[in-house]
Amino acid sequence: MSQPIPASLDESKVALLVDHFYDKVRADPLLGPIFNRVVDDWGAHKVLMTSFWATVALRSGHYRGNPLAKHQPLSIGVEHFRRWLGLWRETAGELLDTEAAALMVGYAERIGYGMRIGLGLSGHQRGRESGIPIRAHQVARQGSARRHGVNASVADPGRPAPATR
């Protein structure tokens, strides 16, 4: 569900957050190599991600896409999400006031939770290593992702999911 937009949060703040956050991601020993393998044009990626976050938080972006499908081929586990969210929280705290930072972190936690469910990742395990036969697992994860609103194209990427922890 959409939340009120803090007065201090606008498109330029979102762009600033995205810019600094992805500079950290690129340099991060865990996340950097995964991104650097698939992202050729960091300027374009930042523009895309600014549009995504402006759509989520400001309802002003024009992002249309399917984030879950983009993450499915990547080899990512809960440790990547943990690091991603840690860097996001850190960067939001550095650049935004308390209210705006809390909003952006809350959105990321809920979207990240939905994505982890959609990718079949739970608690401490990678879905693929969970021992569930692959077909049953795929069906389970598709159903679960659908319930969390992350498998279709993202009309409302800010749709809430239960809190991460």
Sign of CA dihedral 9, 11, 12, 15: positive
Task: Select from 65-73, 118-126, 130-138, 143-151 the region that touches ligand HEM (CB under 6 A).
Answer: 65-73
Q: CA 24 to CA 141: how far, in whole Å?
A: 31
Does 65 interact with ligand HEM (rule: CB under 6 A)? yes
- Cβ neighbours of 162 (radius 10 Å): 11
Closest to 76 measured CA to CA, from 38, 41, 23, 27: 38
Alpha carbon 153 to chain centroid, angstroms: 14
Position 21 contacts ligand HEM (CB under 6 A): no
Which of 15, 16, 48, 140 is in the footprint of ligand HEM by CB under 6 A? 48
Q: Which of residues 82-101 bind ligand HEM (CB under 6 A)?
A: 84
Residues in contact with ligand HEM by CB under 6 A are 31, 34-35, 38-39, 48, 52, 65, 67, 70-71, 74, 76, 80-81, 84, 108, 111-112, 115
